[in-house]
Structure 1
Amino acid sequence: MNSYFTRIPYWIKAIFPNQIWSLPNTNKEIYLTFDDGPTPEITEWILKTLEQYNAKATFFCVGNNIKKHPTLFNNIIKNNHNVGNHTFNHEKGWKTNNNNYLNSILKTEELIRTLFCQTLPKKNEQQLTKLFRPPYGKIKRSQTKSLIKKNYKIVMWSVLSWDFDKSINSETCLNNVIKNTQSGDIVVFHDNEKAFDKLKVVLPKTLEHFSKKGYVFKKIT
């Protein structure tokens, strides 16, 4: 599983205090997130599965995918989930100069704002939360500083499902989530073809497991 952790240790959170790693609470609330979409068929399946458990989630969308699949993006909003910015072309912050990185994010922001207002015309665009998650979790401190100045909340995670990792099976992926998740945690899944075989197994079982224990699934705001 290379350099990533399944559950983010405290010392990493301490090094990057300006990033959101969890939303601590005692209300048995968990925050599911889905990166990289919207993706035909997969996004629809995720939305239907979440609906079965009255679960809300946050989708960190890639701008180019939003551009190609605006109806899918609109469906996320119509189903009362939240959306966040995941750059336009899934750029890795460490390998992208700051101007190009910021322009990619702003390009995606404009697309999100336009579609949000078209989908929910009665809502003011100021109600759109400015959430950002860096692809691969890689972002320079200088990039973080620029985004915070633009009122972005940089949302990382506390639990990584590893649904994208071809070297593990669905059972391991499920255990990654179930054994490491507690109230207030932000869990990462992926809305893409690489993860879908495992997601089809793991997401319903995750929702079932925690619902039976009295947990609810909230969107990040």
Structure 2
Amino acid sequence: MLIERSPLLLQWVTPSLLWRVNTADKEVYLTFDDGPVPEVTPWVLDVLDQYDVKATFFCVGENVAKYPELFQKLQECGHSVGNHTYNHLKLYKTEPGIYRKNIQDAALTNKSSLFRPPHGQINRSMIQWLHAHKFKVVMWDVLPADYDKDRTGQQCFDTVKRKTRPGSIIVFHDSLKAQKNLMEALPLSIEYLLDQGWKFKTLI
């Protein structure tokens, strides 16, 4: 079963994580995971530029090392960046020491204090370690699941349309896996939200 919005109980038991920005204003935070990659990220940047929208990109360190010019362009275009580990590791399948080093390896290429765990996998000890190392852990409020091959771009857009609320953090993916759905859902989502008077902000 797809969970399109992070459950309130999960947010309640992890209050130190940022699931949604606390605001009553019509502000939304568009984020992208897993890039940068040359097949998708430049297209995303063009779309964001077309609508004059800024976003936050949680980058995989390995991709940053492969495509440093693209990573630099993200920042030159006025977007924020965050750490998404070096190899997109799953916490629950990785020895804690290896996972921590993977975060630190990513930090060598990406100095951001923002961190989002791949697949949303996090636990209490890792939260404590991240906070001790001055990372702000960012989760999400709206999950269109553009990476899901069983969904369509229209379904992804419908999720954004139904679930967005003040302060929502929406997560898309600038990845090959999500490319098809993203290319349909992203312009539709931005156009709809702008038409409805929403303002886009970056996480810092």
TM normalised by structure 1 equals 0.90
- Separation in structure 1 between the aligned mates of residue 30 and residue 143 of structure 2, nearest angstrom: 10
- Separation in structure 2 between the aligned mates of residue 220 and residue 159 of structure 1, nearest angstrom: 15
- Separation in structure 1 between the aligned mates of residue 25 and residue 73 of structure 2, nearest angstrom: 28
Partner of 1:163: 146
SS of the residue corresponding to residue 177 of structure 2 reads: helix
Partner of 1:60: 58
SS of the residue corresponding to residue 20 of structure 2 reads: coil
Matched, 1:176 2:159: yes
Amino acid at match of 2:60: V
Shift of 1:214: 1.0
SS of the residue corresponding to residue 163 of structure 2 reads: coil
Partner of 1:85: 83
Amino acid at match of 2:65: K
Matches within 5 A, 1:22-33: 22-33=20-31
Partner of 2:119: 136
- Separation in structure 2 between the aligned mates of residue 25 and residue 192 of structure 1, nearest angstrom: 30
Of 169, 180, 183, 1:197 maps to: 180
Note the residue ranges of structure 1 that are not aligned, 5 or more in a row: 114-128
Are the aligned partners of 1:92 and 1:139 in contact in 2 as well (CA < 8 Å)?
A: no
- Separation in structure 2 between the aligned mates of residue 139 and residue 10 of structure 1, nearest angstrom: 16
Partner of 1:188: 171
Amino acid at match of 2:68: P
Are the aligned partners of 1:62 and 1:108 in contact in 2 as well (CA < 8 Å)?
A: yes
Note the residue ranges of structure 2 that are not aligned, 5 or more in a row: none
Matched, 1:206 2:204: no
Deviation per CA, 1:123-177, whole angstroms, max 9, x where unpaired? xxxxxx4000000000221111101011100000000011000011111111111
What is the total number of aligned residue pairs between the two structures? Answer: 204
Amino acid at match of 2:186: L
SS of the residue corresponding to residue 63 of structure 2 reads: helix
- Separation in structure 2 between the aligned mates of residue 145 and residue 97 of structure 1, nearest angstrom: 16
- Separation in structure 1 between the aligned mates of residue 82 and residue 8 of structure 2, nearest angstrom: 24
- Separation in structure 2 between the aligned mates of residue 41 and residue 171 of structure 1, nearest angstrom: 21
Partner of 1:118: none
Matched-pair identity in %: 42
Shift of 1:24: 2.2
Partner of 2:17: 19
Of 23, 40, 43, 2:41 maps to: 43
TM normalised by structure 2 equals 0.97
- Separation in structure 1 between the aligned mates of residue 64 and residue 40 of structure 2, nearest angstrom: 14
Shift of 1:28: 1.1
